[in-house]
Amino acid sequence: MRFLGVGETVDLGDMYLRLQAGGHDVRVHASDVNSQDVMQGMLEFTADWQNELGWVRAAGPDGIILFETASSGAIQDGLRREGYNVVGGSELGDRLETDREYGQSMLRGAGLQTAISRSFESFDDGITFTRSNPGRYVFKLNGSSWASTRAYVGQTDDGTDMVALLTASRNIWTPDEAPNFVLMDHVSGVEVGVGAFFNGEEFLSPPNLDWEHKRFFPGDIGELTGEMGTVVTYRGGERIFDASLARMAQPLRESGYCGYINLNTIINADGIWPLEFTCRFGYPGFPILDALHHDTWDTIHSSLIARDCLEIRTSDGYSVGVVITVPPFPYSDGYAELGKGTPICFREPLTTAELDAVHYGEVTMSNGQLVAAGMVGYIMVVTGTGASVEDARTQAYERVDKVVVPNARYRNDIGVRLINHDYACLRELGWLG
């Protein structure tokens, strides 16, 4: 088969490596110049992905284009109309993810309850609102270009910290365009994501559940990084899926969406509160899911395109993924001095299973040595699986201990809150068997 990867920062690099190792032809385009050293010498890159369209089309049903981001949905829709096989998202998917109020309105239209969310294009308007309506709010900028570290979950019940944040943001705002953000009412409960693959007409089963660890430090302290690690399972998620993400099938079908989609939620005694969509492959979600797949990525992509199979073969139990980074992650300033070029080694030769559990991110080969590359220091995801979260955690951290990277940082508590509190809470509320 032929796969053409189109993205900005080689986010699907681990997937490309596995497709290539499976004997498939893979070409990759990375538009961000700061990421064009990622996996050099490990993958074949192209400067202009559109020049490769003939190469993809010549493979017929065995030619697939993979899009990494939620910012090129209109292009994907156009390619599908021209007869290309595209896995990624759609223009609707882009809007669901990046226009947060629109995403919430679509969820309300599908019959879900949502937390009240208000859109603003002025920090002063946001400040005035918060002062007039004291409370806890979640601040998020609309659009796909903002780092996760820019989001903020209010901590004080009277909103004084949110007013302070909005005031500081107003005073240092430098982009030419006006700010565009939402303030969403804070909802307490268990945070859980539900995801599935959609083939343009139907969801593939089974759906999966995930518990993300977004903050940088153990104990959920520090910056919102996107994810520092996650627990996932393909078992027991049907009730949550049916009550939430499954209800989006019709608009996804009408838009031609084809790819992975995830809905992050809060669950409490009042039910499910959907927060936001991820309308693309998740990072590090996709390699953590991969650890539970019996079907390889080529089989999954082929099924999505051909629509000839509505089930992915998966393992029982859980997968735990741990993200390993180097300074100055999650920021890019100073990376050239602090982390770029850091060597990546292992304490001992890894077994085949251990090698399969190492999912590379921003790395490259330099004079035969694997080193940190790219723009932020997101080095790898190490996974472990098991019948229980405890077993999967144990295996994951045994494998993490075999990775030797100077100044490496990672969380050592992935899955602990789920074991100690969240899973029991979801069972007590009746969402898990």
Q: What is the CA radius of gyration of the chain?
A: 21
- Give the pLDDT of residue 144: 67
Q: Name the one residue in this structure whose structure tokens are 């992905």.
A: 49
- Give the pLDDT of residue 143: 77
Residue 86 has pLDDT above 80, yes or no: yes
Q: What 3-state class would DSSP assign to 262?
A: strand
Over residues 91-98, mean pLDDT: 96
2-96 and 116-185 have identical folds? no
- Domain range annotation of the chain: 2-96, 116-185
Distance of alpha carbon 60 from alpha carbon 72, whole angstroms: 23
Distance of alpha carbon 216 from alpha carbon 224, whole angstroms: 6
Average pLDDT, the chain: 96
Residue 174 has pLDDT above 90, yes or no: no
**The pairing of beta strand 44-45 with beta strand 25-30:** parallel
- b vs e for 38-67, b when ≥16 Cβ sit within 10 Å of the residue's Cβ? bbeebbebbeebeebbeebeebeebbbbbb
Q: What is each CA distance from 85 to 4, 92, 258, 295, 305, in whole angstroms?
A: 10, 18, 9, 19, 6
Residue 359 has pLDDT above 90, yes or no: yes
Distance of alpha carbon 87 from alpha carbon 199, whole angstroms: 9
The predicted-structure confidence for 416-426, as pLDDT tens digits, reads as follows 999 999 999 99
pTM for this structure? 0.92
Q: Which CATH architecture has domain 116-185?
A: 2-Layer Sandwich (3.30)
- Give the pLDDT of residue 117: 86
The predicted-structure confidence for 222-254, as pLDDT tens digits, reads as follows 999 989 999 999 999 999 999 999 999 999 999
- Give the pLDDT of residue 19: 98
- b vs e for 79-112, b when ≥16 Cβ sit within 10 Å of the residue's Cβ? bbeeebbbbbbbbbbbbbbbbbebbbebbeebeb
Token representation of residue 28: 């990759």
CATH topology of domain 2-96: Rossmann fold (3.40.50)
